[in-house]
């Protein structure tokens, strides 16, 4: 019998712009697994809050927004209602707002069910901050993916410029450090390596090398179960 706990999950957690999204999507494509970009859910809630003018400390209103998030992920695009917000949620303002509201327990709680529903056969690869520690503690493989702050600022810079946003490396580095501190020091579900996580520092790795590492670890843990 298939119960959700028998559906394999690979959890990839790490700081912002560490490359975990890129690696996770490529691993998902190789394994034909579903993919959960949990950060997108916090970004969608943030975008919606900004648009509705909701105060960033109004925990109940924000939790309600998250609970009723009308979002869908189709063909690589992310929708809020019928509007594609794939690009809009990548703006720095939205990422910073997401990091702020992600510290609110009621909001995190409101997003749990939505995240669990991504666990479908043949398997799921989920990336975020608390995938291995809180949302999928029974994941068969947990990876903590990092890169130096400088490497991450460079990557974020390139991502933003490629998407047509303007960006400045010094400002990005400052924002990254602030966001890391906020994500790692919050009281609830802080960014930290899960017990038993494999560490992957991608500062000096190509995307393909990082993907191969994860696939290699997955092949090992799969054999063991
Ligand atoms: O991964 P990202 O940059 O898209 O995430 C945006 C913010 O959302 C991040 O700064 C913190 C929050 N987040 C979180 O608290 N828990 C997650 N599992 C994913 C993201």
pLDDT band per the 50, 70, 90 thresholds, residue 130: very high
Residue-wise pLDDT for 146-155, tens only, equals 999 999 999 9
User: Distances from the Cα of 58 to the Cαs of 44, 64, 104, 187, in angstroms?
Assistant: 16, 10, 9, 17
Dihedral, CA of residue 81, residue 84, residue 86 and residue 87, to nearest 10: -130
pLDDT of the residue at 57: 94
Query: pLDDT above 70 covers what percent of the chain?
Result: 99
128 in contact with ligand 1, CB cutoff 6 A: yes
pLDDT of the residue at 1: 60
Averaged pLDDT for residues 105-119: 98
Ligand 1 centroid distance, CA of 42 (Å) = 6
pLDDT of the residue at 75: 86
From 42, 112, 127, mutation site for ligand 1 pocket: most ligand atoms within 8 A of C-beta: 42
pLDDT of the residue at 152: 93
H-helix or E-strand spanning residue 84: strand 83-84
User: Domain residues for 48?
Assistant: 4-224
Answer whether residue 218 shows pLDDT above 80.
yes
pLDDT of the residue at 137: 97
Count of structural domains, the chain: 1
Name the closest-CA residue to atom 5, ligand 1: 39
Instruction: Give the CATH number, domain containing residue 46.
Output: 3.40.50.300
Ligand 1 centroid distance, CA of 144 (Å) = 14
Structure tokens that stand for 36 in this block: 């959960």
pLDDT of the residue at 2: 63
pLDDT of the residue at 223: 82
Residue-wise pLDDT for 28-45, tens only, equals 999 999 999 999 999 999
Give the pTM: 0.93
Measured from the CA of 21, which atom of ligand 1 is nearest?
1
């Amino acid at each position: 019998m298939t119960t959700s706990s028998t559906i394999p999950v690979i959890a990839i957690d790490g700081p912002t712009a560490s490359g975990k999204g890129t690696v996770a999507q490529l691993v998902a494509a190789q394994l034909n697994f579903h993919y959960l970009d949990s950060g997108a859910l916090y970004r969608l809630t943030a975008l919606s809050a900004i648009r509705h003018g909701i105060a960033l400390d109004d925990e109940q209103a924000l939790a309600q927004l998250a609970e009723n998030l009308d979002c869908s992920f189709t063909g690589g695009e992310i929708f809020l209602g019928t509007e594609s917000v794939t690009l809009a949620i990548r703006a720095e303002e939205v990422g910073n707002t997401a990091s702020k509201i992600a510290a609110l327990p009621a909001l995190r709680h409101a997003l749990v069910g939505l995240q669990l529903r991504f666990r479908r056969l043949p398997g799921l690869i989920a990336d975020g901050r608390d995938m291995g520690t809180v949302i999928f503690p029974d994941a068969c493989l947990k990876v903590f993916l990092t890169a130096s702050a400088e490497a991450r600022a460079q990557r974020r810079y390139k991502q933003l410029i490629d998407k047509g946003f303007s960006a400045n490396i010094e400002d990005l580095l400052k924002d990254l450090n602030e966001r890391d501190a906020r994500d790692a020091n919050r009281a609830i579900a802080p960014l930290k390596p899960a017990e038993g996580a494999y560490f992957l520092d991608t500062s000096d790795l190509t995307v393909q090398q990082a993907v191969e590492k994860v696939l290699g670890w997955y092949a090992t843990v799969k054999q063991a179960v």
